[in-house]
């Protein structure tokens, strides 16, 4: 059995922009532009970058919640992008999404019992008689009480609501989770609890995860490997320990320099990026990061940098990576 569960190759998503009197296509927003990576079984891979980097769109493309413009997504050797409607519906049991906002992703008019039973009924899991026991067990797995089944979402805290969202994703016993910034809407004190829960679930059930985040401090504690994205492209990929100890790409170095250090005796040199992220409608030529890069030279404007191997499992898209 292959150790690679998910293989993404040349993934592209260009959203058409309509304008003019006849509402014609006048351009494209290049949200994801040639992204390739793999996720091994039992591994947690972090997908990080600023807002607008394309990381959430990449996660939605993997689950086929958005239709890709080009590329392939092979899950356990099945091309997800080629599945027709009914096979795709059945296949979704194997891949689930943990939404970013626990306030918006739960129906305020439904009790927790209804939220969980929909998932079980849709995929024909268990009988109507034993689903209550299954739902109670799900809540216990995420640190809630079976008594919570008959409560509404507004009766829970933000952290508890996110636990319900995780329980809903686990209800169909998936092999793979896409966690789309699952703690960004929570207080800092609650974030650690949810991260610890996800780590525990990964160990207990052997889950494979794509963990999307903009906070590298959060990613460091849960991910085995990290992929850094900028303006729809991959800038750097490495094992988490290697990336944090030896960041090679100037964009990764800038992101890590912004992570607060809790030890007052340690000082981190801040790498300040100039300007704002360019528009994905009209990205820079050559290297998309060159307009903000302290290392940029003429070559960067004319030639896109290839992904270069700079160590075991460590690649960087920079002409001048040492």
- Each residue's pLDDT tens digit, 43-63: 999 999 998 999 999 999 999
Examine the pLDDT at 267 and tell me if it is beyond 80.
no
Going by pLDDT thresholds of 50, 70 and 90, the confidence category of residue 123 is: confident
158 touches 190 (CB < 8 A): yes
Q: Closest Cα partner for 280 from 51, 39, 5, 43?
A: 51
* Mean pLDDT on 27-56: 95
- C-alpha distance from residue 253 to each of 74, 80, 82, 248, 249 (Å): 31, 34, 38, 7, 6
pLDDT score for 187: 82
* Mean pLDDT on 137-150: 94
Going by pLDDT thresholds of 50, 70 and 90, the confidence category of residue 272 is: confident
> Who contacts 288 (Cβ-Cβ below 8 Å, separation ≥6)?
230, 231, 232, 233, 278
Domain presence at residue 203: yes
Domain presence at residue 165: yes
Q: Which residue has the higher pLDDT, 302 or 259?
A: 302
Helix, strand, coil share (%) of the chain residues, nearest 5: 35, 25, 40
pLDDT score for 263: 66
Q: Which residue has the higher pLDDT, 116 or 270?
A: 116
Domain presence at residue 114: yes
pLDDT score for 298: 94
3-state secondary structure of 264: coil
Q: Quote the percentage of the chain above a pLDDT of 70.
A: 97
Hey, what long-range contacts does 215-220 have (CB within 8 A, 24 or more apart)?
215/48, 215/184, 215/259, 216/48, 216/244, 216/255, 216/256, 216/259, 217/259, 217/260, 218/183, 218/191, 219/46, 219/48, 220/244
227 touches 46 (CB < 8 A): yes
Strand order in the sheet with 70-75: 24-40, 4-19, 70-75, 78-79
232 touches 288 (CB < 8 A): yes
pLDDT score for 16: 95
pLDDT score for 268: 67
Going by pLDDT thresholds of 50, 70 and 90, the confidence category of residue 1 is: very low
> Which CATH number goes with the domain that contains 59?
3.40.50.300
* Mean pLDDT score across all residues of the chain: 91
DSSP string, 134-180: HHHHHHHHTT--GGGGG--GGGS-HHHHHHHHHHHHHTT--SEEEEE
Least confident stretch, 19-23, 80-84, 112-116, 248-252: 19-23
Domain presence at residue 168: yes
Q: How far is the first Cα of the chain from the last one, in angstroms, to the nearest whole number?
A: 36
Our count of domains for the chain comes to 1
Going by pLDDT thresholds of 50, 70 and 90, the confidence category of residue 133 is: very high
pLDDT score for 2: 60
Nearest-angstrom CA–CA distance, 218 and 232? 22
pTM above 0.85, yes or no: yes
* Mean pLDDT on 128-147: 92
Domain presence at residue 270: yes
3-state secondary structure of 124: coil
What range defines the domain where residue 108 resides?
4-316
pLDDT score for 15: 96
pLDDT digits (tens, 9 = 90+) for 188-240: 778 888 899 999 998 888 899 999 998 888 888 889 999 999 999 999 999 99
Nearest-angstrom CA–CA distance, 139 and 197? 12
Going by pLDDT thresholds of 50, 70 and 90, the confidence category of residue 179 is: very high
- Phi/psi of residue 14, each to 5°? -115, 115
Domain presence at residue 322: no
Q: Closest Cα partner for 226 from 320, 101, 322, 316?
A: 316
């Amino acid at each position: 059995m292959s150790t690679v569960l998910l293989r993404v190759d040349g993934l592209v998503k260009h959203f058409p922009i309509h304008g003019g009197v006849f509402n014609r296509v006048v351009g494209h927003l290049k949200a994801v532009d040639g992204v390739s990576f793999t996720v091994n079984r039992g591994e947690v891979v972090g997908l990080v970058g600023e807002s607008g980097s394309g990381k959430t769109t990449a996660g939605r493309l993997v689950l086929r919640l958005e239709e890709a413009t080009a590329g392939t997504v092979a899950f356990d050797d099945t091309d997800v992008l080629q599945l027709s409607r009914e096979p795709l519906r059945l296949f979704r049991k194997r891949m689930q999404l943990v939404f970013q906002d626990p306030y918006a992703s739960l129906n305020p008019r439904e009790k927790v019992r209804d939220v969980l039973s929909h998932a079980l009924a849709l995929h024909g899991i268990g009988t109507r008689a034993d689903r209550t026991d299954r739902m109670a067990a799900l809540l216990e797995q995420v640190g809630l009480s079976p008594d919570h089944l008959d409560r509404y979402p507004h009766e829970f805290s933000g952290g508890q609501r996110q636990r319900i969202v995780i329980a809903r994703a686990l209800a169909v016993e998936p092999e793979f989770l896409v966690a789309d910034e699952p703690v960004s809407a929570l207080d800092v004190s609650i974030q650690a609890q949810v991260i610890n829960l996800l780590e525990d679930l990964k160990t207990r059930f052997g889950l494979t995860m794509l963990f999307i985040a903009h906070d590298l401090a959060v990613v460091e504690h849960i991910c085995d490997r990290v992929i850094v994205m900028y303006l729809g492209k991959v800038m750097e990929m490495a094992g988490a320990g290697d990336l944090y100890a030896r960041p090679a790409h100037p964009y990764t170095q800038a992101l890590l320099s912004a992570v607060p250090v809790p030890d007052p005796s340690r000082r981190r040199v801040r790498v300040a990026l100039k300007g704002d992220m360019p528009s994905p409608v009209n990205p820079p030529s050559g290297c998309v990061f060159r307009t903000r890069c302290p290392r940029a030279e003429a070559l960067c404007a004319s030639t896109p940098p290839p992904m270069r191997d700079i160590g075991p499992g460590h690649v960087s898209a920079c002409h001048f990576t040492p």
